[in-house]
Structure formats: C-alpha cells, structure tokens
Amino acid sequence: MNQIVVGIVGAGQLGRMMALAGIPMGLRFEFLDSNPQAPAASLGKLHVGSINDASALAQLADAVDVMTFEVENIPADVFSAVADKTVLAPSAKALGMAQDRLCEKKLFHKLQIPTARFAPVDSEQDLQEAADDLGFPCVLKTRRMGYDGRGQVFLHSDTELSDAWRKLDSNELLLEEFVDFEQEMSLIAARNRSGATVFYPLTTNTHCNGILHTSQAPSGNTELTAKARHYVHNLLDDLDYCGVLTLELFVTSAGLLANEIAPRVHNSGHWSIEGAATSQFENHLRAILDWPLGSTAVTGHSAMINFLGCLPTPEQSLDIPGLHYHSYDKAARPSRKIGHATIVAEQPDACEQAVQRVLEFYTPAT
Ligand code: AMP
C-alpha cells in the first residue's frame, strides 16, 4: 500500500509533534523550512527553502497528498497558488484571515463574537484619534506578523503615542482597548473535511512577557464552555474550516472576549498529548485527511509548562509523578520555546503541586 504523505510548511516543534503523532498511523512526512537543523528534520524529508518562496512551496506540494502548516506567516497568495497541486488544509482563505488582526476582528463582529473595542490605525493622526476614543490604557498592535507579544506596545498616556508609532514602524496597525481580564483561556477544536467537529475543554493560560508560560485543562464552567464552543462553531462553519483551530479568549467580569484565532495546532494544546484520549496533533491529521476524529476526553487534570530559554534536565523533572518531558532539540536562546513538560494527575491539587515543584527548579529565561 502506498503511504500517505503529509506536507508541513515549517519544521519546528509543532511540525515535529504532528509527525510524532502521525508516524504510528502509517503517515509519512515532508517539511519545508529554511533551517536544515529544524526540530522536525529527523522525522521526514526536509526541503530546505523559504516559506515565502513560491517554487519551494510548489515543490513540496508536488510531493505530498495533503499540505498543512505549522507557521502562520506564509504569504496567503503563495500558499493559495499551489491549490491545484495538492489538498490544502486549512485553506488559504483561513490562513489569510488569521494573518490580519483587522480582518479577524471584522469576522468576529460579523459572527457576533464579542471583542475589546478597537480601531484601525493607518497614520499617527489615526492613532491620536483612536486613543482619544478608546482612552488609556490601550494596546497598539501590528495587524500582521505579531506573535508571542512581539509587534505590540501597551500605552498609558498621550505622551507615549509618538514613540509607539515610531517603534512599530508600520502603517497597518490596530489600537485596542486594554482588557482587565480575570483569566486568559483558549478553546481548541478540530473539524474534518466532512464537517465532523470535536472540542477540547477550555484551557487556562498564563503568559510571561507575552509568551505562553503555562496551560491548565480542563478549565471553565459549563456556561463559559458553551459560549466558547458556540463562537468556535460559528468560525469553523463560516470558514468551512478543515483542521485544528484555536480561539484565544479573555475572561472578564462581563463574559468572554475573543482576542485572536490561530489556524493551526496551538501551544496551549500541548497538554493533550498525554492529557486527552486523542491529542490535538493526531486530530489535526485525522481532520485534514478526512478521517474520523478521535475522542477529546481528558485522562485527568493536566498542566503544561513551557520551557522558555532554558531546559531543566530529565533527571530533575522525571522524578515528579505524572510528569512527561518534551525537548524540541533546539538550542537555548532567551525567550525561545525549547521544550515543555506535561503533568497529568487525578486530582487538581496534585496537578498544581507538581507544577509548583517544576517551578522550584525552572525559571523562564526571557
Ligand atoms: P496577542 O499577541 O494578541 O495574543 O497578545 C499577547 C498577550 O498580550 C495576550 O495573551 C495578553 O496577555 C496580552 N494582551 C493582548 N491584547 C491585550 C489587551 N487588549 N488587553 C490586555 N492584554 C492584552
């Protein structure tokens, strides 16, 4: 039997974890990445090239049965141009929409998904007017290419506007009201080509300098879960979506506000490798191949701790009951995600205690 070949644009840790989920199902992987030593390189054939290069994408598309991505900054027109060569999942439309915070916000509004108040900012004059309207504090963000806290500036007064405008150096910005959130959560769903959909439980996330630091699942009450699922259902239907989609949310006293979507497997779903019957990585592959989706039932109370900039040793970590150790085979650099630990415990208290034990010997280097 011919093996099914999955193409992944990007060969970072997300691609690596996808391959680690797919190889046992008999899948073969090919990747496109400019780094010959990328974390997924040892798990399939690596095409070394730029994700911006139409011919490199075409070469990957020609070699695979289905093509997906683990990075969001592929030019959507370049991605869409290979649609006649292979199956693209998620679609170029979903990718393009998620690349622009303004398009994303407009989609949220069309689907009646609440967000913080915002205004597009294309000039310094717009910035002043938007700040007058939204008030302080507020957050100025680039519409494109912002991630892990990059491309955003928190503003507290009029005197900071000019510096922020110069710092972000773009005429495609967005000013957002500051959200005094109680918690940050995410909801991850998978939808296959036939429309079957599964949801993971709400996950609570904490950040360190804008970078995800910890996740805990399951979280939230039934009311929040129902609301979040309703929002994600609407997004999936509107985009005729195929694959895993993540919605990042702020929990406020007035309810949930959508922050942004990620059209891919997400760092806040890494706990699902050991903490759910089927991981987000396996369900993404099942979805893009239009296979039946797996149960998302949790196996206990889970936590994920990102190892940012430094990696504790397995000897230190594996002594903790229920801990699973993941290293991405990446060199350590400040703020870089180089591994994570998942903890699965029967009781929430035991899970929390294990997290505290990890934090005794691991401090993020950001
Ligand atoms: P983002 O790149 O939009 O995901 O933002 C990164 C992090 O910055 C979020 O996870 C929040 O912790 C924080 N943040 C972003 N936007 C806002 C906002 N409007 N109000 C308060 N905090 C925010």
Residue ranges and CATH numbers for the domains of the chain are: 5-88 (3.40.50.20), 117-177 (3.30.1490.20), 183-361 (3.30.470.20)
Q: How far is the CA of 345 from the centre of ligand 1 (A)?
A: 30
**What does each of the 366 residues of the chain score in pLDDT, given as a tens digit?**
689 999 999 999 999 999 999 999 999 999 999 999 999 999 999 999 999 999 999 999 999 999 999 999 999 999 999 999 999 999 999 999 999 999 999 999 999 999 999 999 999 999 999 999 999 999 999 999 877 778 999 999 999 999 999 999 988 999 999 999 999 999 999 999 999 999 999 999 999 988 999 999 999 899 999 999 999 999 999 999 999 999 999 999 999 999 999 999 999 999 999 999 999 999 999 999 999 999 999 999 999 999 999 999 999 999 999 999 999 999 999 999 999 999 999 999 999 999 999 999 999 998
Q: How far is the CA of 79 from the centre of ligand 1 (A)?
A: 28
Please tell me if the CB atom of residue 104 comes closer than 6 angstroms to any atom of ligand 1: no
Please tell me if the CB atom of residue 139 comes closer than 6 angstroms to any atom of ligand 1: yes
Question: Looking at ligand 1, which atom is closest to the CA of residue 178?
Answer: 20
Please tell me if the CB atom of residue 146 comes closer than 6 angstroms to any atom of ligand 1: yes
In this predicted structure, what is the pLDDT of residue 135? 97
Q: How far is the CA of 104 from the centre of ligand 1 (A)?
A: 15
Top mutation candidate among 105, 118, 259, 267 for ligand 1, by most atoms within 8 Å of CB: 259
Please tell me if the CB atom of residue 338 comes closer than 6 angstroms to any atom of ligand 1: no
Q: How far is the CA of 3 from the centre of ligand 1 (A)?
A: 42
Q: How far is the CA of 89 from the centre of ligand 1 (A)?
A: 27
Please tell me if the CB atom of residue 358 comes closer than 6 angstroms to any atom of ligand 1: no
In this predicted structure, what is the pLDDT of residue 1? 61
Q: Which residues have CB under 8 Å from 211's CB, separation 6+?
A: 148, 149, 306, 308, 335, 337, 364, 366
In this predicted structure, what is the pLDDT of residue 150? 85
Instruction: Give the integer Cα–Cα distance in Å for 300 and 342.
Output: 12
In this predicted structure, what is the pLDDT of residue 122? 95
Q: How far is the CA of 258 from the centre of ligand 1 (A)?
A: 11
| Closest to 111 in 3D by CA, of 232, 193, 252, 248 | 232
Please tell me if the CB atom of residue 348 comes closer than 6 angstroms to any atom of ligand 1: no
* 141-159 per-residue burial string, b: 16 or more CB within 10 A, e: under 16: bbbbebebeebbbebeeee
Please tell me if the CB atom of residue 72 comes closer than 6 angstroms to any atom of ligand 1: no
The predicted model scores a pTM of 0.97
Q: How far is the CA of 248 from the centre of ligand 1 (A)?
A: 10
Please tell me if the CB atom of residue 100 comes closer than 6 angstroms to any atom of ligand 1: no
Strands 45-48 and 255-262: unpaired
Q: How far is the CA of 250 from the centre of ligand 1 (A)?
A: 9
| Closest to 177 in 3D by CA, of 248, 260, 117 | 117
Q: How far is the CA of 210 from the centre of ligand 1 (A)?
A: 7
Q: How far is the CA of 344 from the centre of ligand 1 (A)?
A: 28
Residue having the nearest C-alpha atom to atom 8 of ligand 1: 210
Q: What is the DSSP string of 116-145?
A: --EEEE-SHHHHHHHHHHH-SSEEEEESSS
- Residue 282: burial class (beta carbons within 10 Å; 0-12, 13-18, 19+): buried
| Closest to 228 in 3D by CA, of 210, 211, 246, 253 | 246
Instruction: Return the H-helix or E-strand segment holding 305.
Output: strand 301-308
Please tell me if the CB atom of residue 185 comes closer than 6 angstroms to any atom of ligand 1: no
Question: Looking at ligand 1, which atom is closest to the CA of residue 212?
Answer: 10
In this predicted structure, what is the pLDDT of residue 59? 98
Query: How many degrees, rounded to 5, is the angle at CA 351 between CA 341 and CA 206?
Result: 65
Q: Which two tokens stand for residue 248?
A: 């990042």
Please tell me if the CB atom of residue 257 comes closer than 6 angstroms to any atom of ligand 1: no
Q: How far is the CA of 128 from the centre of ligand 1 (A)?
A: 21
In this predicted structure, what is the pLDDT of residue 146? 78
